[in-house]
């Protein structure tokens, strides 16, 4: 009996330390690092489309200002992906940054490159935003090509085209459900 009590008393600090660590981690879905489901994308796209352009811009600017330090990385990512599917180049950059750094989604440099490339093709109102997106796209491409085995130029282009097709299909599906 004494050994049991001694073991219980010794384990108490470990239990408290584990609960303190878990209290610091994002709760529930905010800690998720999975790819978005079709349903999540559709839900976010519909919600974002109901906002005014000014509301969309304001929230996106807020997310981009502190993407790395966000307390809601998954929600921020899902907001950006919803807006990105509506053709917003800044939101596409937000999604690319999330994939590049693992903010609210699994880290995936190939996917990040595709989103940066799509943002560059979509176009920006501000030339400096376009230049920044092109520079980061090229940096990510350099990181991809420096790895072995690395994707070819054709494979990178195929990835961008597949992303475009996926977005087009998603937009077509949304029109049919309205």
pTM over 0.85: no
Q: Per-residue pLDDT for 6 more than 70?
A: no
How do the domains of the chain map onto residue ranges? 31-177
Least confident of 28-42, 87-101, 138-152: 28-42
Task: Determine the Cα–Cα distance for residues 45 and 96; give it in Å rounded to an integer.
Answer: 17
What integer is the mean pLDDT of 19-38? Answer: 63
Q: Per-residue pLDDT for 94 more than 90?
A: yes
Q: Per-residue pLDDT for 13 more than 80?
A: no
pLDDT tens per residue, range 113-165? 999 999 999 999 889 999 999 999 999 999 999 988 889 999 999 999 999 99
Place of tokens 């600017």: 61
Q: Say how many CA atoms lie within 13 Å of 70 toward its Cβ.
A: 24
């Amino acid at each position: 009996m004494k050994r049991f009590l001694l073991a219980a008393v010794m384990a108490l600090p470990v239990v408290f330390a584990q609960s303190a660590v878990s209290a610091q981690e994002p709760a529930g879905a905010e800690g998720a690092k999975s790819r978005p489901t079709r349903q999540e994308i559709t839900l976010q796209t519909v919600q974002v489309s109901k906002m005014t352009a000014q509301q969309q811009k304001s929230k996106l600017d807020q997310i981009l200002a502190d993407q790395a330090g966000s307390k809601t990385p998954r929600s921020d990512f899902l907001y950006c992906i919803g807006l990105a599917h509506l053709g917003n180049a800044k939101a596409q950059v937000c999604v690319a940054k999330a994939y590049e750094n693992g903010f609210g989604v699994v880290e995936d440099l190939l996917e990040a490159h595709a989103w940066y490339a799509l943002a560059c093709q979509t176009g920006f109102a501000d030339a400096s935003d376009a230049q920044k997106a092109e520079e980061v796209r090229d940096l990510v491409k350099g990181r991809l090509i420096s790895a072995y085995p690395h994707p070819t130029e054709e494979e990178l282009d195929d990835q961008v085209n597949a992303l475009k097709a996926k977005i087009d299909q998603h937009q077509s599906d949304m029109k049919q459900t309205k």
